[in-house]
Amino acid sequence: MRYQFPYTLNNDYDGAREVIRFVKAVDGATTIDLDLSTTRFVAANLVAVLGGAIEKAKRRGARVTLAENDSPAYNALAKIGFVETLGGERLLDQYDTTVPFAEFGATDVKPFDSTVAEFIRKLDNTNATIREFKRLRRSLHELFENAKFHGKCDRVYACGQWFPNMDRLDFTVANFGMTFKENVSEYFGKDVAGERAIQWATEEGNTTKILRRDYAGGIGLPYLREFVADRRGKVQIVSADGYFEESRAESDDPRIDLRRLDDEFPGTFINLELRVESKLKEYYQQRREL
């Protein structure tokens, strides 16, 4: 099976549909030849999903290849670690713009938290307080725990990309377990639409988890929405046939996009897009001049 990537792959509704197409194409294939030769741009944080699908395929014995080329998309994916998982060479990330692609098992709590710390390190020059950073770490940690508890899966994938020239930092966490739709429908004892299930789960105080006294669940997604909104960013969640996006990039009022996808993603992925302070851009420019 040969898979031709599109000209661009972004963190948006069309990008979500393309990611699902990729996952469906890879699933079940015994030979997978990836082609980036005509691809101009891939939002590298989506490698958390693309790479996760490839790792699943490799575990069941599929042969996956990616022809080397000099396209901008290939080079970006070589820097973030995607090409390396296919036997290629990782390119040097000389400007420190990536949070490399990583796979985590159910017990890999510390490695996951280290990846989160690398993501947050790139936010250190923003105006967030220490308390906000601690809550952000806790919220992202909860995504890892939720993948095990709600998703009932044994692997989680993550990676991120900083775009200094756009003052933007993207980070994605993905899993291939039970979906929001399955969990929320089971919780209410009736069928809940995918996008409505996501919306319910992102509202403060809502959780399908039976809470332990020593664990305050249900703060992860609501706080991530709050943190991202304060930085005029975007949260995108795709699970089953549900699509949720909240953005304040263009207005003080949140723009929420709830839609039904025409196919289902077999799990969940969450994209965070943060606007960062210009100090980070200055830091990047300084590194380029070294």
Of 128-132, 139-143, 180-184, 224-228, give the lowest mean pLDDT range.
128-132
Of the ranges 113-117, 124-128, 227-231, the best mean pLDDT one: 113-117
pLDDT at 230 over 90: no
User: pLDDT band at residue 272, thresholds of 50, 70 and 90?
Assistant: very high
pLDDT digits (tens, 9 = 90+) for 82-94: 999 998 999 999 8
Supply the pLDDT for residue 127. Answer: 64
Supply the pLDDT for residue 42. Answer: 95
pLDDT digits (tens, 9 = 90+) for 197-213: 999 999 988 887 654 33
Length of the chain: 290
CA angle 49, 79, 133 (to 5 degrees): 65
Supply the pLDDT for residue 248. Answer: 80
CA distance 53 to 157: 10
CA distance 175 to 268: 6
pLDDT digits (tens, 9 = 90+) for 21-76: 999 999 989 999 999 999 999 999 999 999 999 999 999 999 999 988 888 899 99
CA distance 209 to 197: 14
User: Per-domain residue ranges for the chain?
Assistant: 2-289
Percent of all residues in the chain with a pLDDT value above 90, rounded to a whole number? 62
Mean pLDDT of 115-129: 80
Percent of all residues in the chain with a pLDDT value above 70, rounded to a whole number? 89
Burial bucket for residue 89 (CB in 10 Å: 0-12, 13-18, 19+) = exposed
Query: pTM to 2 decimals?
Result: 0.91
Note the CATH number of domain 2-289.
3.30.565.10
Mean pLDDT of 5-23: 96
Supply the pLDDT for residue 204. Answer: 84
Supply the pLDDT for residue 146. Answer: 84
CA distance 2 to 32: 6
Q: What is the mean pLDDT of the chain?
A: 88
